[in-house]
């Protein structure tokens, strides 16, 4: 029983990272932009949050947890949105190819993050490891009324923030006028344009806000998952691609992404809970989340149900004069 609980908890922590990433990407893809820069954006969010907290904690003698938390949050949101802005400017205004621009953003983001992360590790001196204990502590604090409730003890507030955001995003997309407009832009931009919806504005806004949400995934990874440190092991990149996969798995529905992300987390950590695995067969077990995604991808394309399909103009550019 304790094993099941600990697996569940590990799965939720892991899942929250990719849930943020996937939610942002769902919002972006609903506008018809396929942003393969999610890993890069998560990197940007993570490093900016860490840098903000690091700067704050080394500038004052007795850092206050809540201030560090807010500074890190704002830095992460701003940096990630900036990444989204670069992508938007190139693909929407300058009409560059979406896939290539996204991949470049991933290269850029991981370069920037690891460059600064490595530099900060050096600046921190000592064991060569940066640490923002106060801020990270604030992110990892359990909610007071859930302190003793089994699986919820030891989950920071961002786990719940992710769930709330998913429900909000779902409400926004399916129940509001703006959400309807956004979906129209993603399905058929020419029609949306004719109906008087500003395609460019919707694409810009949804991509930048989506990027900001994805960036929170990076922040959560840095502050909670690896406890306010930095390591240049490509961990965020791996999770970023999983977030892209989760979008498909959830069939572009934010609420479906919640349980999907926990399932991915459980599959990812499963190998730790299976007795008598050798080190090499553990590696085979770690394939599971990816194999499951492939299976889902194939099944979705086999069944061809309308509500499970990607936005119709996903990945296609829209130029009014080229209709």
Residues near other proteins, by CB under 8 A: 34, 36, 86, 90, 94-97, 99-101, 103-115, 118-119, 122, 232, 238, 241, 244-245, 248, 278-281, 283-284, 286-287, 290-291, 293-294, 297-298, 301-302, 310, 315, 321-322
Q: Which is nearer to other proteins, 2 or 278 (CB)?
A: 278
CB of 304 to other proteins, least distance (A): 8
Q: Which of 26, 69 has the CB closer to other proteins?
A: 26
Residue 104 beta carbon to other proteins: minimum distance, rounded to whole angstroms = 4
* Secondary structure letter of residue 142 according to DSSP: P
Which structure tokens are listed for 75?
């830095």
Q: Supply the minimum distance, in Å, between the C-beta of residue 19 and other proteins.
A: 18
Q: Which residue has the tokens 């940096």?
A: 79
Nearest CB to other proteins, comparing residues 174 and 232: 232
Report yes or no: 31 and 203 within 8 Å, Cβ to Cβ.
Answer: yes
Q: How far is CA 253 from CA 81, 176, 259, in A?
A: 22, 15, 11
Cα 192 to Cα 185: distance, rounded to the nearest angstrom: 6
Cβ nearer to other proteins, comparing 74 with 295 = 295
Distance, in Å, from the CA atom of 272 to the CA atom of 8, rounded to the nearest integer, reads: 12
Q: C-beta of 261: minimal distance to other proteins in Å?
A: 16
Return the number of the residue (149 or 299) whose C-beta is nearest other proteins. 299
Residues 6+ apart with CB under 8 A from 203: 31, 32, 33, 88, 92, 185, 318
By the 8 A CB rule, do 1 and 183 touch? no
Considering beta carbons, is residue 147 or 286 the nearer one to other proteins?
286
End-to-end CA distance of the chain: 60
Shortest approach of other proteins to residue 207 CB, angstroms? 16
Structure-token match 């990076």, residue found: 218
- Rounded to a whole number of angstroms, the minimum distance from the CB of residue 23 to other proteins is 17
Q: Which of 109, 82, 71, 145 is nearest to 241 (CA)?
A: 109
Q: How far is the CB of 94 from other proteins (least distance, A)?
A: 4
User: Residues near 52 by Cβ (< 8 Å), separated by ≥ 6?
Assistant: 71, 72, 74, 75, 76
The number of CA neighbours under 13 Å toward the Cβ of 143 is: 12
Nearer to other proteins, 68 or 240 (CB): 240
């Amino acid at each position: 029983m304790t094993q099941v609980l600990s697996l569940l908890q590990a799965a939720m922590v892991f899942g929250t990272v990719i849930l943020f990433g996937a939610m942002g990407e769902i919002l972006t893809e609903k506008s018809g932009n396929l942003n393969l820069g999610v890993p890069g954006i998560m990197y940007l969010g993570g490093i900016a949050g860490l840098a903000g907290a690091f700067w704050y904690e080394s500038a004052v003698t007795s850092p206050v947890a809540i201030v560090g938390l807010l500074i890190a949050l704002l830095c992460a949101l701003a940096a990630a949105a900036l990444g989204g802005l670069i992508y938007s400017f190139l693909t929407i205004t300058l009409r560059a190819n979406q896939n290539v621009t996204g991949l470049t953003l991933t290269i850029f983001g991981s370069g920037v993050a690891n460059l600064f992360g490595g530099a900060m590790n050096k600046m921190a001196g000592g064991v060569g490891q940066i640490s923002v204990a106060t801020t990270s502590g604030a992110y990892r604090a359990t909610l007071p009324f859930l302190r003793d409730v089994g699986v919820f003890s030891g989950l920071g507030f961002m786990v719940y923030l992710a769930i709330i955001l998913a429900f909000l995003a779902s409400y926004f997309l399916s129940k509001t006028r703006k959400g309807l407009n956004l979906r129209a832009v993603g399905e058929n931009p020419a029609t949306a344009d004719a109906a008087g919806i500003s395609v460019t504005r919707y694409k810009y806004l949804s991509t930048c806000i989506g990027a900001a949400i994805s960036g929170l995934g990076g922040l959560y990874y840095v502050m909670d998952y690896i406890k306010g440190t930095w390591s240049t092991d490509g961990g965020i990149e791996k999770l970023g691609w999983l977030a892209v996969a989760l979008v498909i798995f959830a069939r572009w529905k934010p609420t479906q992404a919640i349980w999907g992300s926990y399932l991915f987390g459980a599959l990812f950590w499963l190998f730790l809970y299976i007795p008598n695995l050798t080190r090499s067969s553990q590696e085979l077990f770690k394939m599971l989340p990816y194999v499951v995604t492939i299976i889902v991808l194939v099944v979705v394309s086999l069944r061809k149900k309308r509500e499970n399909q990607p936005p119709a103009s996903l990945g296609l550019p829209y130029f009014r004069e080229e209709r």
